[in-house]
Structure 1
Amino acid sequence: MLLLNYIKLAWRNLVKRKLYSFINIGGLAAGLCACMLIMLYVAHELSYDRFHKDSDRIFSLMEKIKLEKDTMQIERFNATTASSIRQQNAAVESYLRMGNQPGESIIIQNVSNPDVKSEEPDTWFADANYFSFFSFPLLSGHKEEVLKQPFTAVISATTAQKYFGSTDVIGKQLRYNGKYIFQVSGVMADAPSNSSIHANILLSYSSMAGIASFRNAMAEERGFGGMFFKVFLKLDDPVHAAAVARNIDRLIAARLDQGRSVLTPMNRVHTSANFNPGFNLRYLKLFPLVAALILLMALINYMSLSTARATVRAREIGVRKSLGADHKSIARQFYAESALYAFLAFCLALLLCQLLRPWFFNLLELKVDVSFLYHPLVLLIYAALLLVTILAAGSYPSFVLSRYNPVTILSGKMSRVSGGASVRKVLTVVQFGTAAVLIICSIVINRQLYFFRHAATGINKENVIMLPFQGSMGNHYQAYRQQVAALNGVQQTATARYPLYGGYDMWFVMGENNRPPMALSMLSMDRSLFGLTGLQWKIPPADMTQLGMPGKMVLNESAVESFGFTGSPVGKYVKLGNKEVEVIGVVKNFHYKSLHSAIIPLGINVEEDNTALWGANSPGCLFVKVAPKQNMPALIGEIKKIYTGYDLQEPFSYTFLDDAFGKLYTAEDRLAGIFGWFTLLTVLISALGLLGLAAFSAEQRTREIGVRKILGASVVQITVLLSKEFIRLVIIALVIASPVAWYLMQQWLQQFAYRIHLQPWMFVLSALIAAITALLAIGMQTLKAAVGNPVNALKIE
């Protein structure tokens, strides 16, 4: 009954003071909504692969080879790697291999309805123990049998609907790359959004022996590494991982490979930069801090306004205390009020979270299953947010208000009681200081991203389309290229084995003066790509006709330096694999990887422009330089029409070179997006709190303002009088925030090999944004009070 009375009082006060209720509940809801969104994202990222029963015992294998300026990572191994490891390590309970041809386009076709076909990149050959090794649900079929026989397949529920219009598909047939027929033996549930393994189609490992391309390539594999298989090991106990890794290193050394093994627990694969290069764990750890700061801003607003309005509630508290109420009962009353406000804010935050969730995940380019929203971890986070909000929001106000002396209050001396004024000043400084730090960080992050995208990379990325093609282009590649080159608006064409920023080969070569073997990145392309991308010569070939001749190679400046050549490297030889290759020229360094790391040694293998190399025997990429101000959609449509006239099997695809470069900075884009929007939210919450304090201050000084106006004070003088204390607090906040932000951003920039320098204008701009926000927040209230009729002000008792 007592609690019900507390709630009635709280509701009465909420309705009576609509402006303060809006600021308190609205600000708190905005902060909680931001926290919910951020923590939902963090929880989802940290939950990857934890649904597997043995996720702590399953390890993913990688081999890392240390280069002079970089590290090469090998994630694919040959067919015998896993069994060799199992034989030499008693701690390895079982293993699983998942394989396909990297870069190969896989076309799947319904045998009974050939018109239904599509490219399926998430198609893997897998060992028969796939469903007992992992915990992916199998909707139909027996998990021990579905992948046991050659040319059997398990498909996801979505894939079954796509090809057959039903999930009742056991016994139906699919054609793989136009040649091999697989019988569907099982249907699996779609992989959850928090799975690092996504497989739409699983093909039995035993089928690979019957596929010529795999059979021949697997027979030629040597050493420890290979082309096809990701390897997963299940240990009897996670503590044995280090010992198993040491044994694998010995196996690597015995096979004359030069790397070291890395075993990553399955539940950390997604957050590992080794397996997920676009992921930055440091940023993920930063997001909960941002969420905490936003919630802190909202709570500061609540506590500041609650204590500021102490004089309004003082008489009520005095009467209650004189009638026998102790400070505990009064504290409980204010806690009940805080609980009601927090609960209303929480409900509003849940509604906002549901409305903004699609936008937020689109911003992060992230897919989250709806079912994850009801995951126990998410519900626990929401409950914790509600509990923390209630406890934090009610603690300080209830403590301050319940401690008032009834004699002081009822004797009319409350005006001389501070009511937590000093604490409010500190909270205001903290609030705007935090906002200023976030503003500076947002400015620096966006400038670094701008630098990335506009730095001179040595490659002309403007108006270049990259068009990958597969071996199914056959002997038609030259005709295809000639027709594309003849289109209006096409200035140049060129060919390379890989799209730029989409891959390169790696070789180990010997340098001069008995230097140890070093890794050399290798790009294979025709001579036209030099001009199309604007690569600059440091030492051009004496005879340009040598470009494309067998046994010739071009190096970049970094490779020349790393090899330790004395004098000009032109005419000298390096051992590339089993053959000697002559250096015929040197190009200036250019960025063929992201600007996160320094430029590493590169060799360019210039191939003769012929059909035998491009199209007939291997995939490649056609580069098309387009003249400015062209109708790109129409031109791409014409190119697609030409492409489909020669290749009916592989779907047409394209990428702009500048877009491919931009995708190298996905993690920073996400950081900038989150920081930008939540910095704006923090500034708005801070401004909202300042608005409430300014309104309260103007209300409390109504009589003073009236007297000053009668005595001749101008509107400007009164506005300055009411504003100067708040502006002084904002200035103090900016002075404290600047060195904090400088330190944080200086540390963040150190991770980049190429970076901007912090400039004074960044801090000045941040100060201007904070100051203007503060002036706008308090200006309306102070101006309203300053222009008011002094007669009305003096009527107030």
Structure 2
Amino acid sequence: MFRNYFKTAWRNLIKNKINSAINITGLAIGLACFLLIALYVADEMSYDHFYPNKERIYRVNSDLRFGGENMRMAQTSDMMGPLLKKDYPQVEQYTRIYTNDGSRLIKRGDDYINEEEVASVDSTFFDVFQLPVISGDIRHALDAPNTVVLTATAAEKYFGNKDALGKSIQVKYGASVRPFKITAIVKDIPANSHFHFDFFFSMKNVDYNWGAVTSHNFYTYLLLKKGTDYKAFEKNFPDYIKKHVVPYASKYMSINSIEEFEGAGNKISYSLMPLTDIHLHSDRTSEISPGGNIQYIYIFSAVALFILIIACINFMNLTTARSAVRAREVGIRKVLGTERRQLVLQFLLESVLMVVLALALAVVIDFFAINAFNNLAAKQLKIASLLSPRFIIILVLLPVVVGIFSGSYPAFFLSGFKPIEVLKGKLRMGVKSGSFRNVLVVFQFATSIILIIATIVIYRQLHYIQTKNIGFTKDQVLVVKNTGSLNSNAEAFKNEVLKLPGVKMGTFSGYLPVSDAFRGDNTYSTEAVMTSENGFSMQNWNVDYDYISTLGMQIIKGRDFSRDYGEDSTGIIVNEAAAKFLGTNDPVGKSVYTSDIDGNVEKYHVIGVVKNFNYESLRSSIGPLCLLLKPSPYTASFKINASDVSGLISRIKSIWGKLAPGMPFSYRFLDDAFNDMYKAESRAGTIAMLFSALAIFIACLGLFGLAMFVVEQRTKEIGIRKVLGASNTGIMQLLSKDFIKLVFIAFVIAAPAGWFVMNRWLQDFAYRTNITWWTFALAGGSALMIALFTVSFQSVKAAVANPVKSLRIE
């Protein structure tokens, strides 16, 4: 019996070639999109799941508010891990990661390579993060100073096929070179990890003011004992604060209790974040590497589901639209004794067979599209992942689930025909007779309009980001990195570059107003004795005399640093946000106080106010910041105005080679660094646009097929109308108006839904564009034009047809 069903199903597919091609193409594209997004989502959801103890590893996050400035950090103090392990038996082990030293210059042959994937870690790091070991005693690999653990890739890079264990790498520290012994080699960290290091240096080499309980510069991870509820463990943090933080803070500020501190509107709290949540759920500043966004997972998952549903709706619409063709078959089979359940099974098997063919085509499409999608999404997805156990299950279930879902309505619809009415020709078809089919078309276009709205809003927000006045000049600013390796030749390098044609001015700093640059903050007060009421936290950046002018910032009160004023060594320039904290519109001449690492009070006086500039992503509001005149020759920035940029860079590189032989020359443009902060949004916008176009294309396939069958069913009516004098334009309007009504209804549904979804998305940005009325008008107009264009082909064909031929059909 089943063999006969399949033979019949195959014959129907071959017989109705156009209908089958439209159905299979739409389903294939929908399934291809579904599988691609499923691979993407599965990869995003798999981050850090490869660690054996993943369910017991947690990172400590810090939430601070001091003087009204909120800080949500992924770092804690250097003492938090050791103190928690000492005080609380639930902590099996801790480890810390320190990255503030930045990249390292490592010697290979006669030259140095700038390695950025480096970190200093505790000797306990590999107890918590159990990476596969290739060689060496990993448990004690970093017990001693001047030791390092390498990944397999790093070992091969510096030693080729030779065994690197026990050998040393030469690392540049200022003007000196220090050897680090390789004590172990581990396998490369998988791509789906929230950190990617190739060099793990011993924490014992970090030059740091150890014991500063209120300084937050270390990523701290805890390995909790089995059975420990991390939410219950978090209740210990208030006790930790009272026991350790308050006594330490009282050394440099007047504070008697945490209640007094919080009573002044301040806050300090800690929480645990599961390791596997960090990539998608963390919204903390200064993450080790840029994370994902769970919102995009929800959005892309919904898009994948909707595209698949749109493809299924096409099948439903086209199958029920062709019901007149199959009606006689159903009537005759019923007269001959075929039961309804047999007909339902027949039609469902036809549906499943079509989905199987579409799925095979979808896999072929993904095979050719995977590389382009990887470039677009910045991923390393492999089509072979579809052969993993969980995807094999999906591939087996998809034809059944999709086949039954898309084929159930047509199956019950077709099998429900009454044989007497069918055989007498009383069956009425068309757009107006298919209420449920109209609902499905409305759903298709409502979804398409929402996707169009989403794409427009995302691109408007990106344009807003790129064109907003951010308070500094990011265009034509060349940033030369790692100028600290120039040592005493740093100033000579700057002066030589400034002599080149096309270079207007230059500055040295360790701080730039882009999120991947180094950051530093400190606590300040308006009086010599810091209290909960007069203290506040503020970014402090060390700059030189030319920083503000080179980056095009604007002094709105007071003055810039000047070589004509000797007292500028104790002067600071604050931004407008900091001026508000000082409680005056004109803080010039006011004094602020802070403490050095030894607790000695330092006094600074405000000499100027710089207009607020965005130094983080526009997701964050501008916080208090001050500029200090202190040497910081780590990065050189040059304002250029050259027609031959590549030639200028070549000449700068030549100067570098003379002053720093063997040192790598690395540069980038500030606007590129700025745009990198919004790569995730840019990728999301491009992906949204791509899948919106595919969703619309699939919907149009269905609409094209539906229009084709509607025209077929009204052939006689059109012929009579033309004989009675109807114009071609009138015929086209007659056939198009029903579809226009459906698009209008879809727009009424989609507009508020699109506004709600995208308004929620924009809330993540402190600075955002508005959703204007023309966004909806453009989305609705686009959907209408697409629908009319799709239907017009069949409408024109019907309108220009010879009415004699149309009437001769009967």
Aligned counterparts of 1:374 and 1:135: Cα–Cα separation in 2: 27
SS of corresponding position for 1:36 = helix
Which residue of structure 2 lines up, in the alignment, with residue 625 of structure 1?
A: 639
Match of 2:569 in 1: 550
- 1:175 corresponds in structure 2 to 170
Distance 1:543 1:5, change over 3 A: closer
Question: Aligned partner of 2:423: which letter?
Answer: L
Cα deviation, 1:467-514, whole Å, max 9, x if unaligned, reads 122432111011100111111211111222223212332111113797
Aligned ranges 1:529-678 → 2 under 5 Å: 529-541=547-559, 544=562, 545-546=564-565, 549-565=568-584, 568-577=586-595, 578-607=601-630, 613-615=631-633, 620-627=634-641, 630-648=643-661, 650-678=663-691
Note closer, same or farther for the CA distance 1:390–1:538 as it changes in structure 2 (3 Å cut).
same
CA contact (8 A) 2:59 2:219 kept: no
**Is the contact between residue 522 and residue 540 of structure 2 (CA under 8 Å) also seen in structure 1?**
yes
Contact 1:520–1:602 (8 Å) recurs in 2: yes
The code of the aligned residue for 1:92 comes to: V
1:295-330: CA deviations, max 9, x gaps?
Answer: 111111111111111111111111111111111111
SS at match of 1:255: helix
Mapped partners of 1:679, 1:341: distance in 2 = 24
The amino acid of 1:521's aligned partner reads: Q
Of 501, 506, 514, the match for 2:521: 506
Q: Is the 8 A contact 2:331 2:422 kept in 1?
A: yes
Matched, 1:480 2:478: no
**1:291 alignment counterpart:** 304
Query: In the alignment, is the contact (CA less than 8 A) between 1:193 and 1:369 conserved in 2?
Result: no
Which digits, 9 at most, give the CA deviation of each residue in 1:532-579, with x for residues without a partner? 2222222123995338721111112221112213x6322111113221
Say which is worse superposed, 451-460 or 704-713, in terms of deviation.
704-713
Show the counterpart of 1:763. Answer: 776
Q: How has the CA–CA distance of structure 1 residues 125 and 356 changed in structure 2, closer, same or farther, with 3 Å as cutoff? A: same
Preserved CA contact (<8 Å) 2:703 2:787? yes
Q: Distance in 1 between matches of 2:166 and 2:190?
A: 26
Q: Which residue of 1 aligns with 2:714?
A: 701
Structure-2 separation of matches of 1:408 and 1:132: 77
Partner amino acid, structure 1, of 2:639: K
Partner of 1:198: 196
Give how far 1:77 is off. 5.1
Tell me the equivalent position of 1:106.
104
Aligned counterpart, 2:31: 32
CA contact (8 A) 1:546 1:552 kept: no
Q: Does 2:157 match 1:162?
A: yes
Is this contact kept in 1: 2:80–2:220, CA < 8 A? no
Percent identity, aligned pairs only?
35
The match for 2:264 is none
Which stretch of structure 1 is more off in the superposition, 695-704 or 298-307? 695-704
Matching residue's letter, 1:58: I
Separation in 1 of the partners of 2:808 and 2:343? 32
Shift in Å at residue 657 of structure 1? Answer: 1.5
Q: Cα distance, 1:641 vs. partner?
A: 1.9
Whether contact under 8 Å (1:61, 1:261) holds in the other structure is yes
Equivalent in the alignment of 1:264: 273
8 Å contact kept, 1:557–1:589: yes
1:796 maps to 2:795: no
For the aligned residues, what is the CA RMSD? 2.6
Q: Any stretches of 5+ residues in structure 1 without a counterpart?
A: 608-612
The aligned residue for residue 444 of structure 1 is 457
**Given the alignment of the two structures, is residue 233 of structure 1 paired with residue 223 of structure 2, yes or no?**
yes
Question: Which deviations, in whole Å up to 9, do the C-alpha atoms of 1:407-452 show, x marking residues without a partner?
Answer: 2111221236989611111111111111112112211221111111
Distance, in Å, in 1 between the alignment partners of 2:140 and 2:541 is 44
User: Hey, what does 2:598 align to over in structure 1?
Assistant: none
Deviation digits for residues 658-704 of structure 1 (CA, Å, limit 9, x no counterpart): 12222222332232122111111111111111111011111122222
Q: Report the more deviating stretch, 407-416 or 276-285.
A: 276-285
Distance 1:419 1:770, change over 3 A: closer
Change (3 A) 1:775 1:369: closer
3-state DSSP of counterpart to 2:487: helix
Bigger shift: residues 323-332 or 555-564: 555-564
Deviations 1:312-350 (A, max 9, x none): 111111111111111111111111111111111111111
3-state SS of paired residue (1:755): coil
- 555 and 201 in structure 1: CA distance in 2 versus 1, 3 angstrom threshold: closer
TM-score (norm 1): 0.91
Shift of 1:264: 1.0
Question: Does the 8 Å CA contact 2:324/2:429 hold for their aligned counterparts?
Answer: no
Moved more, 74-83 or 498-507: 74-83
Distance 2:85 2:315 in 1: 60
Residue 78 of structure 1 deviates from its aligned partner by 5.7
- Going from structure 1 to structure 2, the CA distance change for 1:69 and 1:315 (only over 3 Å counts) comes to farther
Matched, 1:139 2:153: no
Query: 1:517 and 2:515 equivalent?
Result: no
1:50-129 to structure 2, matched below 5 A, reads: 50-67=49-66, 70-76=69-75, 80-100=79-99, 102-110=100-108, 114-115=109-110, 118-129=113-124
Q: Using the alignment, how far apart are the partners of 1:526 and 1:407 within structure 2?
A: 94
Identify which range, 338-347 or 5-14, moves more after superposition: 5-14
Residue type at the aligned position of 1:156: T
Q: Tell me how far apart the structure 2 counterparts of residues 404 and 168 of structure 1 sit (CA, whole Å).
A: 78
Aligned partner of 2:212 in structure 1 is 222
Give the Cα–Cα distance (whole angstroms) in 2 for the partners of residues 516 and 384 of structure 1.
64
2:246 aligns with 253
Distance, in Å, in 2 between the alignment partners of 1:764 and 1:264 is 43
Please say if residues 147 and 203 of structure 1, whose CA atoms lie closer than 8 Å, have aligned partners that are also in contact: yes
C-alpha change, 1:150 and 1:571, in structure 2 (3 Å) is closer
Contact 1:78 1:225 in 2 (8 A): yes
Give 1:7's aligned amino acid. F
The answer to whether the 8 Å contact 1:127/1:147 transfers is yes
Provide Cα deviations, 1:629-682, integer angstroms capped at 9, x if missing partner.
x22222222212212222245422222111222222233223212211111111
* Residue of structure 2 aligned with 1:302, choices 310, 315, 319: 315
Aligned mate of 1:327, from 340, 346, 366: 340
3-state SS of paired residue (2:804)? helix
Specify the code of the residue in structure 2 equivalent to 1:40. L
Q: CA deviation at 1:106?
A: 1.1
Give the Cα–Cα distance (whole angstroms) in 2 for the partners of residues 528 and 546 of structure 1. Answer: 14
Cα distance in 2 for residues equivalent to 1:742 and 1:500: 32
1:317 to 330, 335, 355: 330
Instruction: State the Cα distance separating 1:142 from its structure 2 match.
Output: 4.7
Q: Aligned partners of 1:554 and 1:228: how far apart in 2?
A: 28
Q: How does the TM-score come out when normalised to structure 2?
A: 0.90
CA contact (8 A) 1:278 1:664 kept: no
Aligned length: 773
Query: Partner amino acid for 2:192?
Result: N
Tell me: CA distance 1:69–1:465, structure 2 relative to 1, closer, same or farther (3 Å): farther
Alpha-carbon distance between aligned partners in 2 of 1:444 and 1:292, rounded to the nearest angstrom: 21
After superposition, give the CA deviation of every residue in 1:200-247 in whole Å (9 maximum; x if it has no partner).
123445xx3xx4xx3xx2465522536456444334334143234444
How far is 1:86 from its partner?
0.4
Please report how far the alpha carbon of residue 21 of structure 1 lies from its aligned counterpart in structure 2 after TM superposition.
Answer: 1.3
Deviation readout 1:571-621 (Å, 9 max, x if unpaired): 1111132211111111222222222232221212134xxxxx344xxxx22
Name the counterpart of 1:787.
Answer: 800
